[in-house]
């Protein structure tokens, strides 16, 4: 039985989410404030926390940052307002596993939760696959269309990171934090990342008609298939 915590101050939204989730057999708790949510996450075990960003007092982002800085690896899905793209980016930077934009369909939320529960945070994976790309994480070899790609260690790590986050936005600060263990948002780091990314894209995409690595202006990168 999966345990889900909803941290949301709007009682109507919290209760309707609870109903939907309980209807699917999840065990649901509600915290109405950031403080209460933070306390529960630190004293009980949840499979997923649905965390609203806009909370009175301690915001969802502050809670998320505090959790991750204490190495709490609970799966977190954040809820953001429609036009708050910044919140989504900072949420992912702070270690959110996914986000939903309000208002959303219950079916979409349930689908995301199923994916998160299946994927987990730190499930050991030995092989990554996307389109005609495949990475063997044990021997650290990458292939596209059956042809080996000649990657440096860093390029391999970067490509693996893109594959792990396929279909989702990746910001430069996520890459800096997760691949360079660099937490400050210094401009020189962005340049280093861009140089590595440019080299990687040449090796992965140059000889193939379909490009898989895309730049998203003002955000970062995404690994996705080209829409035909």
Q: Which is nearer to Ca ion, 54 or 66 (CB)?
A: 54
Closest approach of Cβ 41 to Ca ion, in Å? 17
Neighbours of 94 (CB within 10 A): 22
Q: Which is nearer to Ca ion, 34 or 95 (CB)?
A: 34
* Residue 47 zone, left/alpha/beta (φ > 0; ψ -120 to 50; rest): alpha
Peptide bond into 112 cis (omega under 30): no
Q: Which is nearer to Ca ion, 13 or 179 (CB)?
A: 13
When binding is defined by CB under 5 A, the residue of 9, 24, 65, 178 that contacts Ca ion is 9
Q: Report yes or no: 158 and 175 within 8 Å, Cβ to Cβ.
A: yes
Residue nearest to Ca ion (CB): 54
Closest approach of Cβ 60 to Ca ion, in Å? 8
Q: Which stretch binds Ca ion (CB under 5 A): 3-11, 153-161, 167-175, 176-184?
A: 3-11
Distance (Å, rounded) from C-alpha 166 to C-alpha 221? 10
Six-digit token string for 203? 């090796």
Closest approach of Cβ 203 to Ca ion, in Å? 44
The total number of residues shown for the chain amounts to: 228
Q: Is 162 exposed, middle or buried (0-12, 13-18, 19+ CB in 10 A)?
A: buried
Distance (Å, rounded) from C-alpha 151 to C-alpha 205? 13
Neighbours of 88 (CB within 10 A): 20
Interface with Ca ion (CB under 5 A), residue total 3
Q: Which is nearer to Ca ion, 58 or 168 (CB)?
A: 58
Which residues within the stretch 93-122 sit at the binding site for Ca ion (CB under 5 A)? none
Closest approach of Cβ 136 to Ca ion, in Å? 44
Closest approach of Cβ 102 to Ca ion, in Å? 9
Instruction: Using DSSP, state whether 71 is helix, strand or coil.
Output: coil
Q: Which is nearer to Ca ion, 20 or 117 (CB)?
A: 20
Q: Report yes or no: 101 and 80 within 8 Å, Cβ to Cβ.
A: yes
Which residues within the stretch 41-60 sit at the binding site for Ca ion (CB under 5 A)? 52, 54
Q: Which is nearer to Ca ion, 99 or 130 (CB)?
A: 99
Closest approach of Cβ 9 to Ca ion, in Å? 5
Contacts with Ca ion by CB under 5 A lie at 9, 52, 54
């Amino acid at each position: 039985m999966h345990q889900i915590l909803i941290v949301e101050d709007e009682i109507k939204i919290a209760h309707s989410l609870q109903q939907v989730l309980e209807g699917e057999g999840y065990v649901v708790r509600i915290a109405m404030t950031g403080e209460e949510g933070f306390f529960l996450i630190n004293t009980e075990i949840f499979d997923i926390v649905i965390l609203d960003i806009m909370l009175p007092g301690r915001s969802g982002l502050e809670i998320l940052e505090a959790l991750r800085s204490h190495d709490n690896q609970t799966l977190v899905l954040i809820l953001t307002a429609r036009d708050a793209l910044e919140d989504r980016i900072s949420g992912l930077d702070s270690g959110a596993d996914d986000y939903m934009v309000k208002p959303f369909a219950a079916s979409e939320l349930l689908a995301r939760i199923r994916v998160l529960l299946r994927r987990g945070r730190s499930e050991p994976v030995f092989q990554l696959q996307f389109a005609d790309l495949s990475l063997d994480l044990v021997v650290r070899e990458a292939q596209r269309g059956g042809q080996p790609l000649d990657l440096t260690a860093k390029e391999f790590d970067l490509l693996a990171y893109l594959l792990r986050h396929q279909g989702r936005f990746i910001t430069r600060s996520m890459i800096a934090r997760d691949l360079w263990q660099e937490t400050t948002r210094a401009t020189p780091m962005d340049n280093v990342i861009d140089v590595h990314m440019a080299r990687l894209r040449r090796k992965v995409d140059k000889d193939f008609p379909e490009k898989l690595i895309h730049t998203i202006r003002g955000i970062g990168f995404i690994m996705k298939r080209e829409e035909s």
